[in-house]
Chain A
Amino acid sequence: MTRVCVAGAGVIGSLFAAHLGRVAEVSALTRREEHAAALRERGLRVSGRADFTASLGAATEPDALPEPELVIVACKGTDLDTVASRLEGHWPDAILMTVQNGIGADEVVARHGDWRLLAAVTFMSGTRHDDTHVEYVLDTATWVGPARGTTYADAQAVAELIASSGLKAEAFPDLRPAQWSKLIFNATVNTVAALTGLPHDAHFAALDRPTDLGHLVKGLMDEGKAVAAAAGVELREDPWQMNVLATKRGSAHYPSMLEDVEARRPTELDMITGALVREARRVGVPVPLHETMERLVKAREDSWSA
């Protein structure tokens, strides 16, 4: 694969675009023209765990970009439908890869065209400083798996491309065990952080006193695990262990939903907790705690919309 387009140049999109720019011809599809212009003129700088500036093409319309073989759809889940509709009718031979939180992103994209699809989850994180500068913070992996019309070999090829660019990536014959581990982890950590204002820190794993937050975190994760089991998904990692490990590192990561709530932006609630609750109903597993969290975060969003 020699031509890649990254649709949506937020933190994750920028990290992909800049790194892949070192091993492929990369373009970025942006929402704002000034963002595209800035990328064309100044390139895209990465700091933090890497330090370089990549040059790349950028435009707000697919027609203005060279036809790619791989499109990484890296916008936020809340923008996914809009971005996918802008790709409608373009690049029928490309493989589109979704990297949104939650599950079901590939299904949203599938409604807008017949592309072959890959599904991915990414654990890397960064901080966006401005339109042309992103800081690479957590160098954790991106996991890629086949979705509509693709095979494990396609997933391996993309994972190798990503790995060759300096990011971490791994392919899986079936992404669901990884995706579900992350879904349960995210549905829990993001909503608890958004409602309490706490970054993902040691409070989330504390179980010593009856009022410690770890009990709620565990309860939410146990509900999620019951849904996964009923859906026939064997989790790749235990979400509680992921939680304990992440908080033991001593860092206090700000989950995106907490950042969204603090900035009074719409959250990815529907793609994360919403997806889990819908799946729970489908398989007939009660998830009263996740429903409680969903109602509270939804109401929190409503509190600043009026």
Chain B
Amino acid sequence: MVGVGSTEPRAQAPAWPAPERITVAVIGCGAVGSLFAANLATLDDVEVWAYDLAREHVDAINRDGLRLTGAGEVTARVRATSDAGELPACDYGIVATKAMHTDSAIAATAHAFANGCVATVQNGIGNEEVLARHVERVIRGTTFPAGRVVAPGVVQWDVKGDTSLGPFEDRPAPFEEVERLADACSRGGMPTRAVRDARGPQWRKVIFNAATNPLGALTGLTHGRVCEQPPLRRLASQLVDEGKAVAGAQGIVLDADPEELIDYAARPDVAYDHKASMLQDVEARRQTEVDFLNGGIAEFGRRLGVPAPTHEAIWALVKGVEASW
């Protein structure tokens, strides 16, 4: 506060306008959702809500705050709820559920974003299309940081990484709104770029995930061991090549080669021992995200007339695994 005796006239003081306060609701406060929620909540100008169906997790967040540990130590005040009716009108939504829950999650919460923009930071392709059925302004997003919920209200932050956000072509959020969200995420500790065409980063990640996750899930091998076996590594390359052809047919320019990401992740100091999330899902007999990874690539391929027979085969096998439970 400016003191009574100050010579500085209060009205002219700020060098730039104080940032407008924004309200963000994270929809699906699992590992990735928590990284966004907790980091954004460290900012004075952001009010963060978290919507999640796990009651214990919600109660712990409201009682003790949302805690990140590992790659960063953060404990943040976040308003958590399992009741979508409690959400206020929000400027932004960040959807971070597993891909198969997108529709039910956004159907329940869409009212909060009547005047806002909704971003997805989920795995796979096809999530934006689902959001666009419920809200007007959609942001296509891809995020690389990873973690896991280790206890109610506590998330182990395993890997730091970048996020890309861009307007979703069919129902775009205004670019300046995308920039404002990217700016808030970056200031909060989640480095985020606003880009005009966010498909390149998204397809790079989808191709990477679709080429590696199901191989781990079907064989039981960690990422590093998948890459060590030349025949299996070639199978991953086959999946990458089919994915690149499907992306190329849409005019998408990948922002980096998924092959490099595969080899980088196989390094002992990166993710050699990492069990792909799909392998963790299979071991726990949980529905996987294969429909949005290999299934997404296969469906885009069909629509575009670009064959993706290996993705089709892998998709069918993982669906078969799910059917065996």
Contact = CB atoms under 8 A, between A and B. Distances in A.
Contacts of A306: 225
Contacts of A196: 317, 320-321, 323-324
Nearest to B321: A196
Interface stretch (A54-62, A69-77, A291-299): A291-299
A300 B225 CA distance: 11
A178 B226 CA distance: 37
B320 A213 contact: yes
Interface string B73-97: 0000000000000000000000000
Interface string A9-44: 000000000000000000000000000000000000
Contacts of A289: 309, 313
A299 B310 contact: no
Given A289-B309, A295-B235, A296-B215, A303 B221 contact: yes
B46 interface: no
A215 B321 CA distance: 15
A173 interface: no
A211 B218 contact: no
B232 A295 contact: yes
Contacts, number: 83
A197 B234 CA distance: 24
Given A299-B215, A299-B232, A302-B229, A198 B313 contact: no
B309 A219 contact: yes
Which of A203, A215, A295 has the most chain B CB within a 10 Å cutoff?
A295
Question: 9 shortest A-B CB distances, which residue pairs?
Answer: A196-B320, A303-B220, A197-B324, A299-B219, A216-B316, A295-B231, A198-B324, A300-B219, A196-B321
B319 A195 contact: no
A215 B313 CA distance: 9
Interface in A126-184: none
Interface residues of B, number: 29
Nearest to A214: B316
B90 to A, nearest CB: 35
Interface string A175-207: 000000000000000001001111000010000
Interface in B303-319: 309-310, 312-317, 319
Given A288-B238, A303-B219, 14 more contacts: A197-B321, A211-B315, A213-B316, A213-B320, A216-B312, A288-B309, A288-B310, A295-B232, A296-B218, A296-B235, A298-B229, A299-B215, A299-B221, A302-B219
Question: What is the predominant secondary structure among interface residues of chain B facing chain A?
Answer: helix
Which of A197, A292, A303, A306 has the most chain B CB within a 10 Å cutoff?
A292
Please classify how large the interface on chain A is, using the bins under 10, 10 to 19, 20 to 34, 35 or more. 20 to 34
A215 B316 contact: yes
Which of B220, B229, B238, B291 has the most chain A CB within a 10 Å cutoff?
B220
Given A195-B218, A195-B320, A302-B229, A216 B313 contact: yes
B116 interface: no
A299 B312 contact: no
Contacts of A292: 235, 238, 310, 313-314
Interface string A208-220: 0011110110010
B320 A203 contact: yes
A212 B225 CA distance: 30
